[in-house]
Amino acid sequence: MVLLQRQRVFDLLKKDSSSLLNKEINVKGWVRTRRGNKNVAFIALNDGSVIHNIQVVVDVKSFKDDELLRKITTGSCISVNGKLVQSQGQGQAVEIQATEIVLYGTADPEKYPLQKKGHTLEFLREIAHLRPRTNTFGAVFRIRHALSFAIHKFFNDSGFYYLHTPIITGSDAEGAGAMFRVTTLDLENLPKTDEGKVDYNQDFFGKETNLTVSGQLEGELGALALSNIYTFGPTFRAENSNTSRHLSEFWMIEPEMAFYDIHDNMDLAESFLKFLISYLLEHCEDDLAFLQKMYDSELIERLKLIVDTHFERLTYTDAIDILIDSGHTFEFPVQWGVDLQSEHERYLVEQQFKKPVILTDYPRDIKAFYMKLNDDGKTVRAMDVLFPKIGEIVGGSQREEDYEKLRGRINEMGIHEEDVWWYLETRKFGTAPHSGFGLGFERLMLFVTGLGNIRDVIPFPRSPLNAEF
């Protein structure tokens, strides 16, 4: 095969690809379809760089190797040399007149699972190793990339530093207790103490360790030195929640800011979310249009609404009053003190305000130990951002910066002081008012793709009884 520089389909289909027009080029990719007759074959080729395929036209008569042509079926992988020309047919501006084709890999039509179109998302989840080759997952993963990039851009441009917090920790930030144990002990033959308990002194780190549920506590250490930091990494929760909004392994973005109070925190969360969504509207037009067409006819309108509207802000207490006064029957009854369920959150966002809502000042008993206590002694300076279709997308708070109050909360919650002594020390040495929040990356992905199940917005989902790929 004549050696030519490979071009991405994305670049070939760009409006200003004219410099390549009528030139010999190379393109490589996976065959989506092949059709035609005994004179001419049309191959739709996709290389994942863009949702659209490039059409490869083969003049069958002048093409000597028809054995090879027969093997070019849906799913096979080929390299094509040919001339990029203006398309004669409808539906595409340019196409390639093939001069040479090399077949890298066949895909037996009898066995290739993606031979036919129109599989359900549930079925595609069972073939997570192949689903990136579908239009839907190509779009989702390109959007996932763009969103990650936009997150770093937003923080970098705002003077935040990216802090890498550990994946393996000896602390439990959320106090939820549902964590994945990390150990090198022989589970068939556990070392025991004199009291008959497992002897973690003999474990790899000489203590009990787990996969982190949040980078926040370490993030706070960074903020109390660098002022503004953010983390962006995987977090792990061993809760047995089999819902369309929970994963056992998900990615979280956690900014933490010295000298921010809860209002600064809310302002940051709102402008951050607006920036991310505007970025996608600007950079992922084709993929969003595809998802809108296939899954959610109001997708782009809903994204624009987020960018254009001011988020409603109200206290938990006011929200409870609204829910009670609504007369609506909820599966989980509402009264002051209960943790809000997604049906409550969605009622506020979708029925009451018809826009994103930020709820503040939750009861202390349903929130984590590190949240700053309000003067009423009953509520804490928490803030949750609630989105249409999703419910909670961001959880955060102003942090308790007072050493004695924080110690009090730690003891009250039954956390051992010696496990978090280093966290407490930041309140002893140069403490400062500070705030932060956590954005669930996949919850935002759900929102921006219009898909209904969180397992479809991460390449290899982890959920109870599911870690195949």
Instruction: List residues binding ligand 4AD (CB under 6 A).
Output: 173-174, 214, 216, 237, 246-247, 250, 252, 254, 392-396, 436-438, 440, 442-443
Question: What is the smallest separation between the CB atom of 372 and Mg ion, expressed in angstroms?
Answer: 16
If the CB atoms of residues 82 and 395 are measured against Mg ion, the closer one turns out to be 395
Residue 395 · residue 437 · CB < 8 Å? yes
Question: What is the smallest separation between the CB atom of 463 and ligand 4AD, expressed in angstroms?
Answer: 9
If the CB atoms of residues 29 and 395 are measured against ligand 4AD, the closer one turns out to be 395
Choose from Mg ion, ligand 4AD, none: what does 388 bind? Cβ within 5-8 Å by kind: none
If the CB atoms of residues 44 and 394 are measured against ligand 4AD, the closer one turns out to be 394
- CA 449 to each of CA 53, 232, 274, 286, 380: distance values in angstroms, whole numbers, following the listed order: 21, 20, 15, 12, 33
Q: Which residue is nearest to Mg ion (CB)?
A: 395
Choose from ligand 4AD, Mg ion, none: what does 394 bind? Cβ within 5-8 Å by kind: ligand 4AD
Distance CA 29, CA 305 (A): 37
Instruction: List residues binding Mg ion (CB under 5 A).
Output: 395
Choose from Mg ion, ligand 4AD, none: what does 461 bind? Cβ within 5-8 Å by kind: none
If the CB atoms of residues 136 and 397 are measured against ligand 4AD, the closer one turns out to be 397
If the CB atoms of residues 442 and 456 are measured against ligand 4AD, the closer one turns out to be 442
Buried b (16+ CB within 10 A) or exposed e, 265-294: bbebbbebbbbbbbbbbebbeebbebbbee
305 Cβ contact list (under 8 Å, min separation 6) = 355
Question: What is the smallest separation between the CB atom of 216 and ligand 4AD, expressed in angstroms?
Answer: 4
- CA 438 to each of CA 77, 287, 435: distance values in angstroms, whole numbers, following the listed order: 41, 26, 11
Q: Which of 9, 61, 56, 52 is nearest to 34 (CA)?
A: 56
Cα angle for residues 147, 151, 157 (degrees, 5° grid): 135
Question: What is the smallest separation between the CB atom of 385 and ligand 4AD, expressed in angstroms?
Answer: 8
Question: What is the smallest separation between the CB atom of 206 and ligand 4AD, expressed in angstroms?
Answer: 26
Choose from ligand 4AD, Mg ion, none: what does 41 bind? Cβ within 5-8 Å by kind: none
Question: What is the smallest separation between the CB atom of 396 and Mg ion, expressed in angstroms?
Answer: 8
Choose from Mg ion, ligand 4AD, none: what does 350 bind? Cβ within 5-8 Å by kind: none
Distance CA 55, CA 185 (A): 56
If the CB atoms of residues 56 and 359 are measured against Mg ion, the closer one turns out to be 359
If the CB atoms of residues 47 and 384 are measured against ligand 4AD, the closer one turns out to be 384
Q: What Rg, from alpha-carbon coordinates, does the chain have?
A: 27
Sheet holding 168-169, edge to edge: 168-169, 209-211, 181-182
Question: What is the smallest separation between the CB atom of 442 and ligand 4AD, expressed in angstroms?
Answer: 5
Q: Which of 418, 424, 466, 458 is nearest to 440 (CA)?
A: 458
Residue 354 · residue 305 · CB < 8 Å? no
Distance CA 316, CA 370 (A): 18
Choose from Mg ion, ligand 4AD, none: what does 311 bind? Cβ within 5-8 Å by kind: none
